[in-house]
Amino acid sequence: MDKQSPPVVVHPLVEGTRLVKIHGRSAGKAHSLEDLERFLREAGLRDIDVDNSTVVEWRGGGSSMWPQRP
């Protein structure tokens, strides 16, 4: 990963989820902001402002863009 890139990247919606990468490694597929926060905690990243672009790079929409639940 580029040293200038934020440590967390959230990719666009695919099949109702968003792929989350932390430090260049897949953390999983998030269905919600709560899932993302759980991935961050599991990676040892606590008290992260998910809207801080130096920490989280949102691709295909920001922190409010999640799939609609049926």
Read out DSSP for 30-48? ESSHHHHHHHHHHTT--S-
pTM attached to this predicted model: 0.84
- pLDDT one digit per residue (tens) for the chain, 70 residues: 445 668 999 998 777 899 999 999 999 999 999 999 999 999 999 899 999 999 999 998 899 988 776 5
Q: How far apart are CA 26 and CA 23, in angstroms?
A: 8
